[in-house]
Amino acid sequence: MSRSVTVGVDFGGTNIKVGCVTPRGRVVRRLVLPTRAHTTPETFLDGVEGAIARLCAALTIRRSQVRGVGVGVAGLVDGSRGVIYRLVNVPGGWEGVALRRLLERRLRCPCAIENDVNAVALGEWRFGAGRGTRHSVYVTLGTGVGGGLVVDGKLVRGIAGTAGEIGHTGVRLNGPRCACGRRGCLEAFVGTAGIVRRARQAIRAGNRPLERLAARHGGRLSPELVSRAARAGDRAAREIWQEVGCYLGAALANVVNLLSPERIVIGGGVAGAWPWFRGRLRATVRELAFAVPARACQIVRAQLGDDAGIIGGAMLVEEGR
C-alpha cells in the first residue's frame, strides 16, 4: 500500500477539522482545532501546519508523503484564483486574502481552497452518494442552505467562483424574510430558521407535542425536535416536513430543468429528517420538472457524514492535478 495521503481541512465557524485521506477517500486520521484560537490568516496557517505535523507523526509518515492540502471554508471564495472574498462567522481580516498562495508558501506542497459546500459536493460526487455519476448536484440543509454542482466530473465555479448558491433561489414572491435580506428565498423555508418559525406557528396554533418537546429543551426548538415529533406521529410536525419537501422540490425542479443532473444528493444537519420529506420532495420534482430529465435524475441522501468536509477538502487537491 502506498502511504501517501492528501490532507483535507474543513474550516468552519466553530471547529477546524484536519484529516489525512487515502487515494480511495478513506479518512485514516483526523484532529480538531477550535476556530477561536485560529481566526487570523497567520494563526490559521500555524494551526494547520502544526496539525499536519502531528498527523504525520501519528501515522509515522514523512511530510513529503503528503500529496497536497485542500481547504474548504465557510464563506465566499474564488477557488480558481485561490482568494477569499469573505468568511461567514470568522472575524480576523480575511477579505481578499490569497489563502492558497499563503498555504503553498508555508506548506511547500500543492494546495487548494474552495467554498466548503463546493468541497463537500466534490467529495460526495467522488466517494459518496454521487459516486459513479457524471453530473451531480449537492444540496446542504442546515442553518444555511447551499449547493455545489459537478458537471462532466468537474466542479462548476463560474466566473466569480461562487457558483452553486441554490439557497437563495426565490421560491415565493413576498415570502418570509431571509437571512440574506431578501424575501421568499428557499433558505427562508427549509433552513433551520424557517423550520423553527413553522414549529412556533404550530405551537401557537395549539400543538401540544411540539410544545412539550420544546419545554423539555429549555424552550429551544430545532429541526431535530421537529423530526422527533414527526417520528412520534405528530401530524403538525409531519406537515412541516411535507412543506420542506414542497419548497425544496420547487427549487430542485428548476435545477433539474436547467442542468439535467444524474443525481441530486441531499446533506447537512436538517437532512436527518430525510424520511419525513423525501417522498414529497421527489413527488414535487416529478410534478414540476419536465418528465425526461426528472425521470433521469435520482434524489438521494448524502453518505459521507461528519467526514464529508475533510474528504471534500482533500478532493480539491486531487481535482486540480
Judged by the rule CB under 8 A, the positions of this chain that interact with a second copy are 76, 85, 133-135, 147, 149, 151-152, 154, 156-166, 168-173, 180, 182, 250, 253-255, 257-262, 288-290, 292-293, 295-297
CB of 216: closest distance to a second copy in angstroms? 36
Identity of the residue, 129 or 210, whose beta carbon is nearer to a second copy in the bound complex: 129
Contact 135, 259 (CB under 8 A): yes
Please give the Cα distance from 38 to 20 (Å, whole number).
20
Task: Give me the least distance between CB of 305 and a second copy, in Å please.
Answer: 26
Least separation in angstroms between residue 262's CB and a second copy is: 4
H-run or E-run covering 138: strand 136-141
Give the separation between CA 65 and CA 250, rounded to whole angstroms. Answer: 46
Q: What is the spatial distance between Cα 214 and Cα 216, in angstroms, rounded to a whole number?
A: 5
Our CB check for a second copy shows the closer of 75 and 110 to be 75
Q: Which residue has the cell 416529478?
A: 286
Cα distance between residue 254 and residue 169, in whole Å: 10
> Is 48:100 a contact under the CB 8 Å cutoff?
no
> Judged by CB, which is closer to a second copy: 23, or 132?
132
218: left (phi over 0), alpha (psi -120 to 50) or beta: left
Q: Which is nearer to a second copy, 22 or 133 (CB)?
A: 133
- Specify the residue, 57 or 159, whose C-beta has the smaller distance to a second copy: 159
Name residues whose C-beta falls within 8 Å of residue 127's C-beta, 6 or more positions apart in sequence.
Answer: 24, 25, 304, 311, 315
Q: How far is the CB of 188 from a second copy (least distance, A)?
A: 13
Which CB atom, from 8 or from 293, has the smaller least distance to a second copy? 293
Smallest separation, CB 298 to a second copy (Å): 10
Q: How far is the CB of 309 from a second copy (least distance, A)?
A: 22
CB of 219 to a second copy, least distance (A): 33
Q: Which of 142, 148, 145 is nearest to 124 (CA)?
A: 148
CB of 248 to a second copy, least distance (A): 13
Q: How far apart are CA 163 and CA 248, in angstroms?
A: 18
How many residues comprise the chain?
321
Alpha-carbon gap, residue 121 to 260, rounded angstroms = 16
Burial string for 110-128 (b: 16+ CB within 10 Å, else e) reads: bbbbbbbbbbbbbbbbbbb
For residues 94 and 229, which CB has a smaller minimum distance to a second copy in the complex? 94
Q: Which is nearer to a second copy, 72 or 293 (CB)?
A: 293
